[in-house]
Amino acid sequence: MNGLLDFLGRIPKVLLFAAVAIIQVALIAMMVVDRARVLRDGTEVTLATRPVDPRDFLRGDYVVLNYEISSLPAGTLKDTPSSGKGTVVYVKAEPKGNVYAAVSVHKEPVAVTGNEVLIRGRASGGATCGPDNMSFCEDLRLRFGIESYFVPQGEGREIENARNQGKVTVVAAVTRAGRAVIKRLLIDGEPVYQEPLY
Protein backbone atom coordinates (compact mmCIF):
# COMPACT_ATOMS: atom_id res chain seq x y z
CA MET A 1 0.00 0.00 0.00
CA ASN A 2 2.84 2.38 0.87
CA GLY A 3 4.43 1.64 -2.52
CA LEU A 4 1.25 2.76 -4.31
CA LEU A 5 1.06 5.96 -2.24
CA ASP A 6 4.73 6.68 -2.92
CA PHE A 7 4.14 6.13 -6.64
CA LEU A 8 1.09 8.43 -6.67
CA GLY A 9 3.04 11.02 -4.66
CA ARG A 10 5.65 11.21 -7.45
CA ILE A 11 3.05 11.89 -10.17
CA PRO A 12 2.42 15.62 -10.72
CA LYS A 13 -0.95 16.70 -9.31
CA VAL A 14 -1.94 18.18 -12.66
CA LEU A 15 -1.74 14.72 -14.26
CA LEU A 16 -3.81 13.17 -11.45
CA PHE A 17 -6.53 15.83 -11.87
CA ALA A 18 -6.45 15.34 -15.64
CA ALA A 19 -6.88 11.58 -15.22
CA VAL A 20 -9.85 12.08 -12.89
CA ALA A 21 -11.43 14.54 -15.34
CA ILE A 22 -10.96 12.12 -18.25
CA ILE A 23 -12.61 9.31 -16.27
CA GLN A 24 -15.60 11.53 -15.41
CA VAL A 25 -16.05 12.65 -19.02
CA ALA A 26 -15.79 9.03 -20.20
CA LEU A 27 -18.52 7.92 -17.76
CA ILE A 28 -20.87 10.69 -18.92
CA ALA A 29 -20.14 9.87 -22.57
CA MET A 30 -20.94 6.18 -21.89
CA MET A 31 -24.38 7.11 -20.49
CA VAL A 32 -25.16 9.35 -23.48
CA VAL A 33 -24.04 6.72 -25.99
CA ASP A 34 -26.06 4.01 -24.21
CA ARG A 35 -29.27 6.08 -24.33
CA ALA A 36 -28.64 6.97 -27.99
CA ARG A 37 -28.15 3.26 -28.77
CA VAL A 38 -31.53 2.41 -27.24
CA LEU A 39 -33.26 5.24 -29.12
CA ARG A 40 -31.60 4.26 -32.41
CA ASP A 41 -31.80 0.45 -32.24
CA GLY A 42 -34.75 -0.28 -29.92
CA THR A 43 -38.08 -1.59 -31.23
CA GLU A 44 -40.68 1.19 -31.35
CA VAL A 45 -43.67 0.47 -29.13
CA THR A 46 -46.65 2.83 -28.76
CA LEU A 47 -48.14 2.81 -25.27
CA ALA A 48 -51.48 4.21 -24.12
CA THR A 49 -51.39 6.48 -21.08
CA ARG A 50 -54.07 6.82 -18.44
CA PRO A 51 -55.03 9.67 -16.09
CA VAL A 52 -53.00 10.16 -12.93
CA ASP A 53 -54.22 11.28 -9.52
CA PRO A 54 -54.41 15.13 -9.59
CA ARG A 55 -52.09 15.37 -6.58
CA ASP A 56 -49.25 14.03 -8.76
CA PHE A 57 -49.81 16.24 -11.82
CA LEU A 58 -46.83 18.44 -12.48
CA ARG A 59 -43.65 18.44 -10.46
CA GLY A 60 -41.38 21.09 -11.89
CA ASP A 61 -41.04 20.84 -15.66
CA TYR A 62 -42.08 17.27 -16.26
CA VAL A 63 -45.29 15.37 -16.77
CA VAL A 64 -46.11 12.24 -14.78
CA LEU A 65 -47.19 9.38 -17.07
CA ASN A 66 -49.03 6.21 -16.19
CA TYR A 67 -49.65 3.45 -18.73
CA GLU A 68 -52.33 0.88 -19.44
CA ILE A 69 -49.65 -1.78 -18.85
CA SER A 70 -48.75 -0.31 -15.42
CA SER A 71 -51.60 -2.16 -13.63
CA LEU A 72 -52.04 -5.79 -14.63
CA PRO A 73 -53.38 -9.06 -13.28
CA ALA A 74 -50.48 -11.22 -12.09
CA GLY A 75 -51.80 -14.23 -14.02
CA THR A 76 -49.56 -17.26 -13.50
CA LEU A 77 -47.29 -15.26 -11.14
CA LYS A 78 -50.02 -15.12 -8.47
CA ASP A 79 -48.88 -16.82 -5.25
CA THR A 80 -45.39 -17.56 -6.65
CA PRO A 81 -42.33 -16.30 -4.71
CA SER A 82 -41.27 -12.69 -5.22
CA SER A 83 -38.46 -10.53 -3.87
CA GLY A 84 -40.99 -8.02 -2.57
CA LYS A 85 -41.35 -4.44 -3.77
CA GLY A 86 -38.99 -3.76 -6.65
CA THR A 87 -39.06 -7.32 -8.00
CA VAL A 88 -38.07 -7.35 -11.67
CA VAL A 89 -40.78 -8.64 -14.03
CA TYR A 90 -41.17 -8.80 -17.80
CA VAL A 91 -44.38 -7.82 -19.58
CA LYS A 92 -44.95 -9.50 -22.92
CA ALA A 93 -46.83 -7.04 -25.13
CA GLU A 94 -48.19 -7.15 -28.66
CA PRO A 95 -49.92 -4.65 -30.98
CA LYS A 96 -53.66 -4.19 -30.42
CA GLY A 97 -54.85 -1.54 -32.83
CA ASN A 98 -52.60 1.50 -32.60
CA VAL A 99 -50.97 0.63 -29.26
CA TYR A 100 -49.19 -2.28 -27.61
CA ALA A 101 -51.16 -4.15 -24.95
CA ALA A 102 -50.00 -6.61 -22.30
CA VAL A 103 -50.34 -10.32 -23.06
CA SER A 104 -48.70 -11.80 -19.94
CA VAL A 105 -46.29 -11.09 -17.06
CA HIS A 106 -43.22 -13.20 -16.27
CA LYS A 107 -40.41 -13.37 -13.70
CA GLU A 108 -37.82 -14.22 -16.35
CA PRO A 109 -37.43 -13.20 -20.00
CA VAL A 110 -39.51 -15.40 -22.33
CA ALA A 111 -39.42 -15.93 -26.07
CA VAL A 112 -41.29 -13.45 -28.25
CA THR A 113 -42.46 -13.90 -31.82
CA GLY A 114 -43.55 -11.58 -34.60
CA ASN A 115 -44.30 -8.08 -33.30
CA GLU A 116 -44.25 -9.06 -29.62
CA VAL A 117 -41.82 -7.35 -27.23
CA LEU A 118 -40.74 -7.81 -23.63
CA ILE A 119 -40.75 -4.70 -21.48
CA ARG A 120 -38.74 -4.92 -18.26
CA GLY A 121 -40.32 -3.36 -15.20
CA ARG A 122 -40.30 -3.47 -11.42
CA ALA A 123 -43.21 -4.23 -9.13
CA SER A 124 -44.15 -1.11 -7.18
CA GLY A 125 -47.11 -2.96 -5.69
CA GLY A 126 -48.59 -6.44 -5.67
CA ALA A 127 -45.41 -8.35 -4.82
CA THR A 128 -45.86 -8.57 -1.04
CA CYS A 129 -48.69 -11.06 -0.47
CA GLY A 130 -48.84 -14.44 1.20
CA PRO A 131 -48.07 -15.41 4.80
CA ASP A 132 -44.46 -14.21 4.50
CA ASN A 133 -45.28 -11.15 2.35
CA MET A 134 -42.94 -12.51 -0.33
CA SER A 135 -45.40 -13.76 -2.96
CA PHE A 136 -47.09 -12.08 -5.92
CA CYS A 137 -50.62 -10.82 -5.31
CA GLU A 138 -53.55 -11.09 -7.72
CA ASP A 139 -52.87 -7.65 -9.25
CA LEU A 140 -49.57 -5.91 -9.96
CA ARG A 141 -48.57 -2.25 -10.20
CA LEU A 142 -45.48 -1.81 -12.34
CA ARG A 143 -42.93 0.90 -13.14
CA PHE A 144 -40.83 0.84 -16.31
CA GLY A 145 -38.57 3.86 -15.83
CA ILE A 146 -40.59 5.91 -18.35
CA GLU A 147 -43.11 7.44 -15.96
CA SER A 148 -41.76 11.00 -16.23
CA TYR A 149 -41.26 13.14 -19.31
CA PHE A 150 -39.48 16.49 -19.19
CA VAL A 151 -41.10 19.28 -21.20
CA PRO A 152 -40.30 22.95 -21.83
CA GLN A 153 -41.24 25.15 -18.90
CA GLY A 154 -44.91 26.12 -18.86
CA GLU A 155 -46.08 23.45 -21.34
CA GLY A 156 -46.86 20.70 -18.85
CA ARG A 157 -50.49 21.67 -18.11
CA GLU A 158 -51.55 21.33 -21.75
CA ILE A 159 -50.05 17.85 -21.94
CA GLU A 160 -51.61 16.87 -18.61
CA ASN A 161 -55.05 17.99 -19.81
CA ALA A 162 -54.64 15.96 -23.02
CA ARG A 163 -53.37 12.99 -20.99
CA ASN A 164 -56.38 13.13 -18.68
CA GLN A 165 -58.68 13.11 -21.73
CA GLY A 166 -56.95 9.96 -23.05
CA LYS A 167 -55.33 11.75 -25.99
CA VAL A 168 -51.66 11.14 -25.09
CA THR A 169 -49.68 8.14 -26.26
CA VAL A 170 -45.97 7.50 -25.97
CA VAL A 171 -43.67 5.85 -28.49
CA ALA A 172 -40.95 4.05 -26.55
CA ALA A 173 -37.85 2.35 -27.88
CA VAL A 174 -37.47 -1.09 -26.28
CA THR A 175 -34.28 -3.16 -26.41
CA ARG A 176 -34.21 -6.96 -26.68
CA ALA A 177 -33.38 -7.03 -22.96
CA GLY A 178 -36.61 -5.11 -22.25
CA ARG A 179 -35.21 -1.69 -21.40
CA ALA A 180 -37.59 1.11 -22.46
CA VAL A 181 -36.82 4.76 -23.24
CA ILE A 182 -39.36 7.38 -24.35
CA LYS A 183 -38.74 8.32 -27.98
CA ARG A 184 -41.78 10.47 -28.85
CA LEU A 185 -44.81 11.92 -27.10
CA LEU A 186 -47.99 12.11 -29.20
CA ILE A 187 -51.25 13.98 -28.71
CA ASP A 188 -54.13 12.68 -30.83
CA GLY A 189 -51.58 10.62 -32.77
CA GLU A 190 -49.51 13.68 -33.72
CA PRO A 191 -45.93 14.00 -32.42
CA VAL A 192 -45.46 16.96 -30.08
CA TYR A 193 -42.02 16.06 -28.67
CA GLN A 194 -39.21 13.97 -30.18
CA GLU A 195 -36.19 12.83 -28.18
CA PRO A 196 -32.92 13.69 -29.92
CA LEU A 197 -30.31 10.93 -30.11
CA TYR A 198 -27.77 13.15 -28.34
Higher pLDDT, 5 or 119: 119
Residue 75 has pLDDT above 50, yes or no: yes
**pLDDT > 70: percent of the chain:** 91
The residues pairing with 89 across neighbouring beta strands, listed in sequence order, are 121
**Rounded to an integer, what distance in angstroms lies between the CA atom of residue 99 and that of residue 143?**
18
Residue 188 has pLDDT above 70, yes or no: yes
Helix (H, G, I), strand (E, B) or coil at 154: coil
Residue 61 has pLDDT above 70, yes or no: no
pLDDT tier for residue 64 given thresholds of 50, 70 and 90: confident
Q: Which of 10-19, 46-55, 172-181 has the highest mean pLDDT?
A: 172-181
The average pLDDT across 81-87 equals 92
Residue 78 has pLDDT above 60, yes or no: yes
Give pLDDT, residue 57.
47
Residue 143 has pLDDT above 50, yes or no: yes
- Buried b / exposed e over 141-176, threshold 16 CB at 10 Å, is bbebebbebebeeeebeebbebbeeeebbbbbbbbe
**Rounded to an integer, what distance in angstroms lies between the CA atom of residue 100 and that of residue 68?**
9
CA dihedral 69, 143, 173, 188 (to 10 degrees): 50
Give pLDDT, residue 54.
45
The average pLDDT across 49-72 equals 71
Domain ranges of the chain: 2-35, 42-194
Backbone phi, psi, residue 85, to 5°: -60, 135
DSSP E strands: which ranges in 15-159?
43-50, 62-64, 66-67, 71-73, 88-96, 99-106, 117-125, 139-143, 148-150
Residue 115 has pLDDT above 60, yes or no: yes
170's enclosing H/E stretch is strand 168-174
